[in-house]
Chain A
Amino acid sequence: MSERVAVRKTYKLFIGGKFPRSESGRSYLVQDSNVSLASRKDARDAVIAARAAVRGWAGATAYNRGQILYRVAEMLEGRREQFVALGVPGDEVDAATDRWVWYAGWSDKLPQVYGGANPVAGPYFNLSAPEPTGVVAVVAPEAPALLGLVSVIAPAIVSGNTVVVSASPAAPLAAVTLAEVLATSDLPGGVVNILTGRHAETVPTLAAHMDVNAIDLTGVTDPELAADLEVKAAENLKRVLRPADHDWSGDPGLGRMTWLLETKTVWHPKGV
Chain B
Amino acid sequence: MSYAIGIDVGSTTMKTVVLDSNGKIIEKSYQRHLSRVREVTAEHIKSLAHILDGQMLKVSVTGSAGLGVADIAELSFVQEVFAAAGAVNKELPETDVVIELGGEDAKIIFLRGTLEERMNGSCAGGTGAFIDQMATLMNVTVDELDELYPGHKRIYPIASRCGVFAKSDIQSLLNQGAKKEDIAASIFQAVVDQTIGGLAQGRAIKGNVLFLGGPLAFFKGLQSRFIETLELTEETAVFPELGPYFMALGSAFKAQQLPNDATVSFADLVEKLSRTQEAEAIKAVGQPLFANQNDFENFRNRHASVTVAETDIASYTGAAFLGIDAGSTTTKVVLIGEDDSILYRHYSPNGGNPLPIIREQIQEIYRLCGSRVHISAGAVTGYGEELIHAAFGLDFGIVETIAHYTAARHFNEKVDFIIDIGGQDIKCFHIKDGMVDSVVLNEACSSGCGSFVETFATSLGYSVSEFSAIAMQSKNPVDLGSRCTVFMNSSFKQAQKDGATIEDISAGLALSVVKNALYKVIRVRNADELGKNIVVQGGTFLNDAVLRCFETELGRDVIRLPISELMGGYGAALYAKHNASDKSNLISPENLEAFTHKSKATICNACANKCCLTINTFADGGRFISGNKCERGAGGKQNTEHPNLVAYKYDYVLNFPTYGTGRLKVGLPLVMNMYETIPFWSTFFSSLGCDVVLSEPSTRELYMKGQHTISSDTICYPAKMGHGHIESLLEKGVDAIFYPCMTYNIDEGISDNCYNCPVVAYYPEVLAANIAGLNKIKYIHLHIGFQNKKKFIERIADALKGVLPALRMKEIKTATDRAYEAYEAYSRHVAEQGQHALYYAKTNNLPVIVLGCRPYHIDPEINHGIDKLLCSMGFVVLTEDAVSHLVPKQNLGVLNQWTYHARLYNAAKFVTMNPNMEMVQLVSFGCGIDAITTDEVSEILRNSGKLYTQIKIDEIKNLAAAKIRLRSLEAVMHVTSSRSNKKEQPKVLVRSES
Report if A and B associate in a common complex.
Answer: no
Task: Show the binding face of A for B, using Cβ within 8 Å.
Answer: none
Task: Show the binding face of B for A, using Cβ within 8 Å.
Answer: none
